[in-house]
Structures are given as structure tokens and as C-alpha cells.
Chain A
Amino acid sequence: MNAETATRPPQAVAPAHLPGGASADAPADARADAPAHARASRRAEVVAALAPLLPAHALLWQREETVPYECDGLTAYRQQPLVVALPESEAQVAAVLKACHALKVPVVARGAGTGLSGGALPHAEGVTLSLAKFNRIVAIDRAARTATVQCGVRNLAISEAVAPFGLYYAPDPSSQIACTIGGNVAENSGGVHCLKYGLTLHNVLKVRGFTVEGEPVVFGSEALDTAGLDLLSVVVGSEGMLAVTTEVTVRLTPKPQLARCIMASFDDIQKAGDAVAAIIAEGIIPAGLEMMDKPMTAAVEDFVHAGYDLDAAAILLCESDGTPEEVAEEIERMLAVLAGAGATRMEVSKDEAQRLKFWSGRKNAFPASGRISPDYMCMDSTIPRKRLADILMAIAQMETKYGLRCCNVFHAGDGNLHPLILFDANDPDQLHRAELFGADILETSVALGGTVTGEHGVGVEKLASMCVQFSPAEREQMLALKRAFDPAGTLNPGKVIPTLHRCAEYGRMHVKKGLLPFPHLERF
């Protein structure tokens, strides 16, 4: 289970949020007899088609066997898949895809299941294609600084394998001990060092996989570009809706000789936000630049005892990496900027142990929230950095409006905000208010010039918010793009791009409650 897993319960999900209009809160098997019978017969048909293609242990369909696959890191959304297939070779993946395509069965590919937006939520009438067995590092090319790994290899395992060569794989999502590279490709995962080192897309050279028809396909290459349209750019971040990834070639980065971190306190959020802008304006691209607000600092200090300043309105962590000379120079420059921006306290890590201590709180923000509240909901919007104080003040107002507390951690360097809304899911009203609170944060982020998801993906969780961010014509263009890869629409259907109908439903739902902040939005 991912460290960032939200702990929302299954019972509170509105059916309107679910893909394909299926109801996931009641197991399909428990529905009226006729549909249950139809589903059982469809399952028998799919099992009969797949059984000859896979070893017996690689095909699961009994309820107790498929339960572990009913959700990903977004546990609020659950759905029993029709069948789970666990292929062990690319030939088996191709065969399963061909069979599913012939039967028009939806296919949902799945890695470690650490995703936070329900991208790997099973389809009620579909096959969940678990790629967990693709866990082999295929090749490490030290001279070319590349690693070719199967899609089920964990993010951190790549860095561990290449460490003897002084190299590492730069993108480092917080779930990196568990999440797989295939999942990272699906989500275009980020991490705390994106500003300097980029996202998954910037660190992946080649993706090998299969089309929905089961045909082998390669996007990108071991060269720096390929002929034709840059399809790798859309495949990375497509949440498993365009192709199934089985093997990934990543670019490796030389490990910096040294990293040091400054922990700076501010008595005012606005000043901390201005300090971030001032560092960038100074021409510095820090390796990491993270912020925590006061409630978050209190929660993590109680958990990790890192010596955070509990009086500070905001704490900034600014990291520099490179050669010892480079780091010394950059730390001096950052200290001067931070002091000029009104930092009330500054401390530079003296050694690696202290640097990791500074980071321990930030890395443990999610479990620390779990200690102070029965449940929390993690949001993931991105805003232009200069809007930080605006969004934090708006969130403070929302705390009053919805009667719930919220802690904030912020990838300040790239504008990616993770508000953690605290609530008790045993109280249905609190859960309802938490959902409205979350939607309000996302819509405010869009109004401030940002986006509804910075790194966690749309999945099923943010389908409604996509209606706010994109016009009907833009959404239709994205659906047309999907059809270009997947004409039958059976690859992870119902995720990422909401249909016009769904957006209209969302509009009605919110208008009725009088809470929709965009009453003039065009609807169909």
C-alpha cells in the first residue's frame, strides 16, 4: 500500500463519478439476478477465451481472488473486475489483448496499484491486466546512461541497480519504493526534484508495448528523437488509455557529488511565497524547493521530531546539489535571498543525516496527517507560483465554509500543491463536505491559471473537474485522440476524459446545490 493512500471509505462514492455508469459501491454480483446471470455468463466466456493462453495460476476470477484488485491507491472507488489476468511474457500479453479485442472486453492495465486517482480502478465488465510479473531489469548500459527495464520494476529499484555506476533515475514520486515504472509512464509521475530534473516524460527514451489489438508497438527510441509525430509525448501520461506498456528504457542521470538543504522559517505565508519567486528570479534552479504550512509542520514534527520551527507560518526546504564548490556557491546565494525575503530562521544541513532529517517531515506529511485525523483527502492541483498566497488564503476561507481543517504541503518550485483535507469518514456529512471542499480547491486552482492535477492524474477521481478545465471541443478532441489509438475504446474506458453527458450531469448536480462557482459555463 502506498504511503500516500487516502483513507476514504467505499460507501460514500456517488455513482455519477464512476466510469461507464456502473455502480461500484454495490458488488455487481449482488445486483438483481438477471444482470448477475448475464455477468456470470460473460465471465465464463472471457475465462474460456483466456484460459488456453495463460498458465492456470495466472487467471483469476473467483471473488476472493479478485478482491485485492478492486481498487488502487484511491480506495474510495472499488470495483470487482470480471477477470484478472497475470501474464508472464510479452507473448501472453499480446495473446490476452487479442482475445479481449475479439470479444470487445475492456482491458485495464495495472502496475503496483499505488495510483491516487483511480486510474487502475477495474471495469465491471473488463479484464484487469496485472503486469506485476514483469519485474526484470533487462539491461543497463553504463556508457549510454540508460536502463531498459520491464514495466513492473519499481522506480527506486532502478536507482538502486545503477547506483554502483554513480547514476540514478531522477523522477522520485513519494511512492517510489512501491510504484512501478510502467505506472510512472502511465501517470507522467513527478516528485520533489522535477523543477531541475523534469518529469517522467523528460527521462524516458523508449516505451515498448502493445496496441489494444495486441500488436507490438514501440514509441520513442534509444536515439533522442524519432521520425514522425512525437507519440511518446502523449503515451506518457495517458493513464493506460492508448497502449499497454511492457518495457521502458529510461535515461539515467549522474548522481550529484553532494546535496545540502536549507530549512528556512517565515512568519507569513506571503513572504514565504515571495521568497520562492525571489530565488527563481535570482537565476537559481534549486534541486528541490518545498513548503509546509503551520498545521502541516505541527503534524509532522509530532511524528518525526526533525526540529521544525513550530512558530513559523511556513517552512521552506531549499536544496542544492552538484559539485562541492557549486553547492557552496548556491547555498550562499540562496541564504542571501531568503534573508532578504524576511526569513526568521535559517539552518543549513551539516551532513547527509541532517539533510535527510530535514526531508523526513516533508516525506512523511501523508502518514503524519493520518495520525491527527481519522481520514484525509489529498488534492493535487498546480497553480502559478505567484498565486500561492491567494490559494492558501482561499483554502483558509474554505476551512470555515466547510467546517473542516486542511494542512498544506507544496512543491513550491513547480507550483504543485497538495492540500490534505482532514475529516472523519464515519460521518457522512463530513465526507460530503470534504468532497465539496476538494472540488472547490480544484476549481479555484483553474480560476487562478492552474490545473486540476499536477502529478496524480485524472483517473476517475477528477473526471468532473476536467469539465471545468476543458471546453467541450477540447474534450472531444482528446476523445478523438484516444480513438486514433483505440478505435473500439476498450483500453481503460471511462477514465481521464469525461463525456459531454457526464459534464452536463456534473453541472446539474452542482447547480442544484447552489454551489457551482461557474454558473455561466457552457453545457450540453
Chain B
Amino acid sequence: MALAGRAGAPQGVAGSTPTAAASGMAPGFATAATAVSSMATAGPAQAVAHEPALARLVDQVRAARSRKGALDIRGGGTKAFYGEPVDTARPVEPLPLAELRGISSYEPSELVVTVRAGTPLAELEAALAEKHQCLAFEPPRFGGDAAGGGVPGGTVGGMVAAGLAGPARAAVGSVRDFVLGATMLNGRAEVLSFGGQVMKNVAGYDVSRLLPGSLGVLGVILEVSLKVLPRPPATTTLRFDLDEDEALKRLNAWGGQPLPLNASAWWERTLVVRLSGAAAAVQSAAKKLGGEVIEPAMAEAFWRGLRDHRDEFFTSAEEAVQGHASLWRLSVPSTTPPLKLPGEQLVEWGGAQRWLCTGAPAPAVREAAAAVGGHATLFRARDKSAGVFAPLAPPLLRVHRELKRAFDPDRVFNPGRLYPDL
């Protein structure tokens, strides 16, 4: 059962009976109506009544609001390192979502899954894999301490709230591009649904697509509907020895050709690319690009390590961060030439994402990204006083503040987590 059906759905079921009767509906429609009632779910109000876990969340939000406190939304606890710390000027209580768990509906032939926020990402990915489908944007799965109440690999809600995507992002799209709908709890403790379970939907503002990357500052993500895709029938990984400049040139040139290019990574004079798609297309592209074919098991381990930040670059970066270095994520136009910044760089997304482990001062990194039309995020650092996310232009900052006010007027949810004053 979905957490909250569309506003009209339950009433529609009840109401369609007299309409059908009045018009002498054929058995065909009666079938449809029956099917509807089995599919349709309780509206928000009923869902709260029938879902003890959701009812408790609503109570907690109301209580926090009335005592003018704040809530720290918790999924699997694997991305606490990411973003700004929650502002503790007011008393902060955790709002755990672990109880809100499970896949509400999954229709492989519709390419849609609806899943509750507290569901472990691993559980969702296993269910999709059984039907040879996947989350094509490859969200990273960070550690997590099961003994300490965390969820190794994180939860679906955390995946959406953080909005991080993996190696295939440049080819297939980001988390936002795969969110079809969401049910959320706003700062007034109202259960709201936006978007839907269909591929095409332009009814009203698409609030559900505003949630990826919001770090919980607009509300609690309760349930999301995601577009899923079939796993590609064939994959090949190729390796090239190239310097950064040449690697970037090749990646952008290949990107302009109809090739099944799915992911890329450059580090220490080595470019690795992944081709995914129909077997015939992958074979002919591999022949065209050349390079050294990486043995499949080794290639899979490489991409998994890159996706989950467990490969050599990221593990050494994590160590360096314990000292005086910081790990930055620079999002730049793919054609940006090699960035002249001190430290180690790993290039992903066809050139559009550059990881930088450096001791360079924050303003230098931010300016280098801004100069080419991008932005830099302080991804991992002991000292975050420079601010995690790039400062916003004045009109955008104003809209951010007003949106916070529109969704969470009393700043109940994750205050300060995205920007200090949100």
C-alpha cells in the first residue's frame, strides 16, 4: 500500500460507482472500477490514521513546532558528513525514519517503483535486480554503522535528500531526473503528494523534483516514486593511457557521437570508460574507440568502488581529510580544460565533475570553479567554516529563503543543513 494516494483517488473509487450505475457502464468499466479500488489507497488523512509510523512522525513534527524546537531528519545516518551541520541554537531532536520502510508498489512493466523513505537502498536495489532493472543514476552507498542504529548503504530518503548520483550521471541523468513523484510532510505537519507514478505529468509545479539535493530543509520525504530502467544487456570497460588534457578532449568528442558511452573516470594519466547498451552497439563502439578491454569482474569492482567512494582515490582522500586537506566536488562544464589547482584530481562525468583533494584555501577553489561557470562543494572536510555549498546570487538566495518559509515557516526541519540561514 502506498503511504498516501492522490487526493482524488479514494473518493473517486467511491464516487465512480453511482456514475457508472447511472450511465449503465459495461462490464469492462466495472472491471476497471474494481481494479481501481484495489489499487487506490487511503488519502493523506486516512493514511495517517492507518499508519502508526506516519502518525508518530506527524505528532513529533507538531510537538517540535509547538515547543519551537527543531528536528534532525535521520535516514541511514551514512551522509552525516555531507552538508552543513544542523543549527543547534534551538533544541534539536532526531526524527528517525527507519520505521517507514518497504516498497509500496513495483511494476516492472511500468518502469516505476514507489518506495518509503526509510527503506534501505540495498533492499530497493535487490528488488530491482530481481527483475533485471536498476537505478540508472547509480547513487553512492556510503558505509553506515548498523550497530549504532545506522543503515549500511543508506536509505532511499537519504538518497533523494542528498541528490548525489554516481558514474553514469552524465549519460543518464541525476536523481531529480528519475523522481516521478513524492509524498512529503511539510513544516505544518501536512502530508502532501506531488507528481505521480507516470512518466509525463505537468499538473502544477513539480515539487517532487525540488526535493533531490534539498537535504531535508523543505520537509520530510515520506515516499517517492522513481523511474527505473532495464539493466543494459551488455557492458564493456576500456582503458587508455592519456594525460588529462587529451582525455578531456576525447571524452567531449566521443560525447558528440552516437556511442553508448555510459561512464568515464580519469585519474593519474589513466582514462577508463564504460560502454553500455545493446550488445551489437557496445561491440562496434569498443572496436571504434580502441583502448585496452578490462576484464568484466575487475571492471565491475572498479565502477562499484568509484560509485561508493571506496576506491583508492577516495580512501586516500578520506585519510588526507583527517589532516589539513579537504575533498572538493567541482561541477563544471564538461569542456573545461584541466583546472590548475594544487592537489589530486579525479575527473568523472565526461569532464563535468572534478574531485579535488587539496590543501588549497577555499576561496581559490571556489573562484576556479566559478570562473568557468561551475561551482565547488566542500564535500569532506574537518573545517567547514568556509561554507559547504557555493554562495547563492542575491535573487536566488531570496527565493531560497522564501521557499523555506513557504514549506517550513518555523524552521523545524534540518535548520542550517543546506545554508546557515535556511
> Which residues of A does B touch, CB under 8 Å?
141-145, 165-167, 187-188, 190, 194-195, 198-199, 201-202, 211, 215-219, 221-231, 233-234, 237-238, 242, 254-257, 277-278, 280-281, 283-285, 322-323, 325-326, 328-330, 382-387, 389-391, 393-394, 396-398, 400-401, 411, 413-416, 440, 443-444, 446-458, 462, 465-466, 468-471, 473-475, 477-478, 480-485, 487, 496-497, 515-521
Contact = CB atoms under 8 A, between A and B. Distances in A.
A143 B353 CA distance: 16
B9 A326 contact: no
Contact of B403 (A414, A456, A481): A481
Contact of B15 (A215, A330, A480, A520): A520
B179 to A, nearest CB: 9
B126 interface: no
A389 B27 CA distance: 12
Contact of B26 (A254, A393, A469, A519): A393
Contact of A280 (B109, B170, B231): B109
Contacts of B188: 473
A515 to B, nearest CB: 8
A284 B37 CA distance: 30
Given A257-B258, A323-B280, A517 B12 contact: yes
A414 B205 contact: no
A199 B207 contact: no
B286 to A, nearest CB: 12
Contacts of B200: 190, 194, 199, 382, 411, 414-416, 451, 454-455
B79 interface: no
A135 B18 CA distance: 53
B207 A481 contact: yes
B256 A451 contact: no
Contacts of A387: 32, 35
A493 B188 CA distance: 26
B403 A215 contact: no
Interface string B62-101: 0000000000000000000000000000000000000000
B174 interface: yes
Given A451-B198, A471-B44, A517-B16, A227 B375 contact: yes
Interface in B244-261: 252-253, 255-259
B109 A477 contact: no
A233 B176 contact: yes
B206 interface: yes
Contact of B400 (A228, A325, A482, A487): A228
B298 interface: no
A339 to B, nearest CB: 18
B210 A234 contact: yes
Given A199-B200, A391-B32, A277 B109 contact: yes
B106 to A, nearest CB: 12
Given A444-B16, A517-B16, A449 B9 contact: yes
A481 B36 contact: no
B15 A518 contact: yes
B4 to A, nearest CB: 9
25 contacts: A143-B256, A215-B395, A221-B374, A223-B352, A224-B331, A224-B353, A225-B331, A227-B390, A229-B217, A233-B210, A254-B259, A390-B28, A393-B28, A394-B28, A396-B26, A449-B198, A451-B196, A457-B202, A480-B407, A481-B207, A482-B205, A484-B402, A517-B12, A518-B8, A521-B15
Contacts of A218: 393
A462 B109 contact: no
B198 A283 contact: no
A454 B202 contact: yes
Given A458-B203, A469-B8, A228 B418 contact: yes
B6 A446 contact: yes
Contact of A224 (B26, B170, B233): B170
Interface stretch (B143-151, B263-271, B316-324, B332-340): B332-340
Given A230-B163, A444-B16, A466-B204, A474 B26 contact: no
Interface of B: 6-9, 11-16, 18-20, 23-26, 28-29, 31-32, 35-36, 39-40, 43-44, 107-112, 132, 163, 169-170, 173-174, 176-177, 186, 188, 190-194, 196-207, 209-210, 212-214, 217-218, 229-231, 233, 252-253, 255-259, 277-281, 283-285, 331-335, 349, 352-353, 373-375, 377, 389-393, 395-396, 399-400, 402-403, 405-407, 418-419
Question: Which 4 A-B residue pairings sit nearest by Cβ, starting from the closest?
Answer: A325-B280, A447-B12, A390-B32, A393-B28
Contacts of A415: 110, 198-200
B355 to A, nearest CB: 14
Given A142-B256, A255-B258, A477-B192, A233 B203 contact: no
Nearest to B196: A451
Contact of A485 (B35, B281, B402): B402
A477 B406 contact: yes
A407 B399 CA distance: 44
A145 B333 CA distance: 10
B192 A471 contact: yes
B177 A443 contact: no
B257 to A, nearest CB: 5
Given A144-B334, A283-B233, A396-B26, A229 B210 contact: yes
Contact of A329 (B205, B257, B278): B278
A490 to B, nearest CB: 16
Given A228-B389, A394-B29, A483-B402, A477 B186 contact: yes
Given A222-B373, A224-B349, A228-B389, A325 B7 contact: no
B177 A468 contact: no
B9 A447 contact: yes
A349 to B, nearest CB: 19
B402 A487 contact: yes
Contacts of A326: 277-278, 280-281
A318 to B, nearest CB: 15
A285 B230 contact: yes
A296 to B, nearest CB: 19
Contacts of A329: 278-280
Nearest to B375: A227
B202 A390 contact: no
Contacts of B231: 283
Contacts of A167: 256
B380 to A, nearest CB: 17
A163 B12 CA distance: 48
A305 to B, nearest CB: 31
B7 A469 contact: yes
A234 B203 contact: no
Contacts of A277: 109-110
B176 A519 contact: no
Nearest to B212: A230
A188 B229 contact: no
Nearest to B285: A323
Nearest to B248: A143
B108 A484 contact: no
Contacts of B402: 483-485, 487
Given A221-B375, A394-B29, A520-B14, A228 B392 contact: yes
Nearest to A270: B28
Given A224-B349, A285-B229, A325-B281, A484 B399 contact: yes
Contacts of A475: 204
B169 A224 contact: yes
B23 A401 contact: yes
Given A224-B353, A326-B280, A166 B12 contact: no
Contacts of B353: 224
B100 to A, nearest CB: 20
B229 A238 contact: no
A322 B234 CA distance: 15
Given A230-B209, A477-B192, A446 B9 contact: yes
B406 A518 contact: no
Nearest to B231: A283
Contacts of B108: 280-281
- Which one of A202, A224, A401, A515 has the greatest number of beta carbons of chain B within 10 Å? A224
